Amino acid sequence: MSVLYILVLASIAVAAFFLAAYVWSVRNDQFEDNKGAALRMLQDDEPTKQ
Amino acid sequence: MDNTLQTEKFYYDNKIVKWFAYATILWGLVGMLVGLLAALQLVFPVLNLNTAATSFGRVRPVHTNAVIFAFVGNGIFMGVYYSLQRLCKARMFSDALSKLHFWGWQLIIVCAAVSLLAGYTTGKEYAELEWPIDILITLVWVTFGINMFGTIIKRRERHLYVAIWFYIATFVTVAMLHIVNSWEIPFTWMKSYSWYAGVQDALVQWWYGHNAVAFFLTTPYLGVMYYFLPKIANRPVYSYRLSIIHFWALIFLYIWAGPHHLLYTALPDWAQSLGTVFSVMLIAPSWGGMLNGLLTLRGAWDKVREDPVLKFIVVAVTAYGMATFEGPMLSLKNVNAISHFTDWTIAHVHVGALGWNGFLTFGVLYWLIPRIFKTNLFSQKLANWHFWIGTLGIVFYAVPMYWAGFMQSLAWKEFTPEGQLKYQFLETVTQMRPFYMMRSIGGTLYLLGAIMMTYNLIKTIRAGKAVNDEAAEAAPLAKTYVEHSGSHWHRWIERRPMQMMVLSLIVVGIGGLIEIVPTFLVKSNIPTISSVKPYTPLELQGRDIYVREGCYTCHSQMVRPFRSEVARYGEYSKAGEFVYDHPFQWGSKRTGPDLARIGGKYPNSWHFNHMYEPSSMSPGSIMPSYPWLFENDIDTAVMGAKIRAMQTLGVPYPEGFDKVANVELMKQAESIKQNLAGDKIEIKSNREIIALIAYLQRMGTDIKLEQKATTASNN
Give yes or no: residues B563 and B652 share one domain.
yes
Q: How far is CA B548 from CA B122, B132, B315, B429, B528, in A?
A: 8, 17, 38, 24, 28
- B465 Ramachandran zone, left/alpha/beta (phi>0; psi -120 to 50): beta
**CA-CA distance, B715 to B710, in Å (whole number)?**
9
B120: three-class secondary structure by DSSP? coil
Enumerate the residues of chain A whose CB falls inside 8 A of the CB of residue B491.
29-30, 32
- Residue percentage of chain B with pLDDT more than 70: 95
pLDDT in tens, A9-44: 888 988 898 888 888 877 877 777 778 888 988 887
Mutation site for A-interface testing, chosen from B514, B517, B524 by largest number of A Cβ within 10 Å: B514
pLDDT band at B200 (very low <50, low <70, confident <90, very high): very high
Domains identified in chain B, total number:
2
B407 shares its domain with B494: yes
pLDDT band, residue B582 (cuts 50/70/90): very high
Q: What is the pLDDT of residues B235-277, one digit of tens each?
A: 999 999 899 899 999 999 999 999 999 999 999 999 999 999 9
Q: Domain holding B574: CATH number? A: 1.10.760.10
B523 found inside a domain: no
* B531 in a structural domain: no
Asked whether the beta carbons of residue B237 and residue A33 sit closer than 8 angstroms, the reply is: no
Distance from CA of B641 to the nearest CA of A (A): 38
Rounded to a whole number, what is the distance in Å from the CA of A24 to chain B's nearest CA?
11
Same domain, B58 and B111: yes
At B706, the pLDDT band (50, 70, 90 cuts) reads low
Q: Nearest Cα to B23, choosing from B58, B85, B72, B56?
A: B72
**DSSP states along chain A:** -THHHHHHHHHHHHHHHHHHHHHHHHHTTTTS-SSHHHHHTT-----S--
Q: What is the pLDDT of residue B482?
A: 52
Residue among A28, A29, A43, A50 with most chain B CBs within 10 A, to mutate: A29
CATH number at B336 reads 1.20.210.10
Q: CB–CB of B488 and A29 under 8 A?
A: yes
Give the residue among B277, B103, B92 at the shortest CA–CA distance from B167.
B92
Q: List Cβ neighbours of B630 (8 Å cut-off, separation of 6 or more).
A: B611, B612, B683, B687, B688, B689
State yes or no: pLDDT of B566 exceeds 70: yes
CB-based burial label for B433 (10 Å; 0-12, 13-18, 19+): middle
The gap from C-alpha B30 to its chain's centroid, in whole angstroms, comes to 17
Distance from CA of A2 to the nearest CA of B (A): 8
Would residue B218 count as lying in a domain? yes
Residue B658 lies in a domain: yes
Minimal Cβ distance to B489: which of A4, A33, A40 = A33
Q: How far is A37 from chain B (nearest CA, A)?
A: 7
pLDDT of residue B2: 47
pLDDT of the residue at B520: 82
Distance between CA atoms of residues B162 and B188, nearest Å: 44
CA gap B533, B476 in Å, rounded: 67
Question: From residue B329, how far is each of B279, B302, B339, B555 by CA, in Å?
Answer: 8, 34, 10, 24
With respect to residue B521, please indicate whether it lies within any of the assigned structural domains: no
Question: Nearest CA to B333 among B257, B260, B402?
Answer: B260
d(CA B256, CA B509): 10
Length of chain B: 715
pLDDT score, position B675 = 97
Residue A48: predicted pLDDT: 66
Tell me which DSSP letter residue B489 carries. T
Cα–Cα distance for residue pair B259/B255, rounded to 1 Å: 10
Last residue of a domain, one of B482, B516, B550: B516
Residue pLDDT, tens place only, B420-443: 999 999 999 999 999 999 999 999
Compute the distance between CA of residue B262 and CA of residue B431 in angstroms, rounded to an integer. Answer: 27
What is the span of the domain harbouring residue B78? 13-516
Q: Report the Cα–Cα distance between both ends of chain A, in Å, rounded.
A: 71
- DSSP string over B362-427: HHHHHHHHHHHTTS--S-HHHHHHHHHHHHHHHHHHHHHHHHHHHHHHHHHH-B-TTSSBSS-HHH
Indicate whether B551 and B504 sit together in one domain. Answer: no
Of A2-6, B365-369, B395-399, B550-554, give the lowest mean pLDDT range: A2-6
**Does residue B8 sit within a domain?**
no
Pairs of residues, one from chain A and one from chain B, whose beta carbons lie less than 8 Å apart: 92
- Compute the distance between CA of residue B631 and CA of residue B610 in angstroms, rounded to an integer: 16
Cα separations (Å) of B353 from B67, B311, B590, B709? Answer: 8, 17, 21, 50
State mean pLDDT over B34-56: 96
Q: What is the pLDDT of residue B708?
A: 57
Q: Based on the fold, state whether residues B543 and B508 are members of the same structural domain.
A: no
Give the pLDDT band (50/70/90) at residue B14: very high
Residues B582 and B472 both lie in one domain: no
pLDDT of residue B500: 78
Residue B490, Cα to own-chain centre: how many angstroms? 34
Over 50: is that where the pLDDT of B311 sits?
yes
Give a yes or no: residue B24 inside a domain: yes
Please give, rounded to a whole number of angstroms, the shortest distance from the CA of A45 to a CA of chain B.
Answer: 5
Q: How close are the terminal C-alpha atoms of chain B, in Å?
A: 89
CB contact under 8 A, B514 and A7: yes
C-beta separation of B530 from B703 below 8 A: no
**What's the length of chain A?**
50
Per-residue confidence (pLDDT) for residue B707, from 0 to 100: 60
Res B1: pLDDT: 45
- Which of A12, A33, A46, A50 is best to mutate for the B interface (most B CBs within 10 A)? A33
* Cβ atoms B40, B47 nearer than 8 A: yes
CA dihedral angle for residue B259, residue B412, residue B325, residue B517, rounded to 10 degrees: 0
Residue-level pLDDT at B417: 96
Nearest CA to CA, how far is A10 from chain B (Å)?
Answer: 8
Rounded mean pLDDT of B202-209? Answer: 96
The DSSP letter of residue B217 is I
Residues B128 and B87 in one domain: yes
Do both B252 and B144 map to the same domain? yes
B358-387 mean pLDDT: 97
Mean pLDDT of all residues in B311-326: 97
Tell me which of B459, B482, B516 is where a domain ends. B516
Same domain membership, residue B129 and residue B277: yes
Query: Do both B250 and B320 map to the same domain?
Result: yes
The answer on pLDDT for B599 being more than 70 is: yes
Q: What is the mean pLDDT of residues B289-296?
A: 96
Q: Identify the domain boundary among B455, B485, B516.
A: B516
Please tell me the predicted confidence (pLDDT) of residue B479. Answer: 62
Chain B residues touching chain A at CB-CB below 8 Å: 7, 9, 86-87, 89, 157, 159, 161-162, 227, 230-231, 234-237, 239-241, 268, 270, 274, 471-474, 485-494, 510, 514, 518, 522, 524-525
Question: Is-contact B614 B621, C-beta < 8 A?
Answer: yes
Average per-residue pLDDT for chain B: 93
Residues B140 and B282 in one domain: yes
More confident residue, B497 or B53: B53
Residues 6+ apart with CB under 8 A from B634: B538, B541, B665, B669, B686, B687, B688, B690, B691
Cα–Cα dist B468/B373, whole Å = 9
**B404/B442 Cα distance (integer angstroms):** 14
Q: What is the DSSP string of B42-89?
A: HH-GGGGTT-GGGSHHHHHHHHHHIIIIIIIHHHHHHHHHHHHHHHHT
The predicted-structure confidence for B164-176, as pLDDT tens digits, reads as follows 999 999 999 999 9
Tell how far CA B303 is from the center of its chain.
35
Angle between helix B219-233 and B73-88 (nearest 10): 50
More confident site: B122 or B159: B122
What pLDDT sits at residue B710? 55
- For residue B528, is it within any domain? no
Domain match, B136 and B46 both: yes
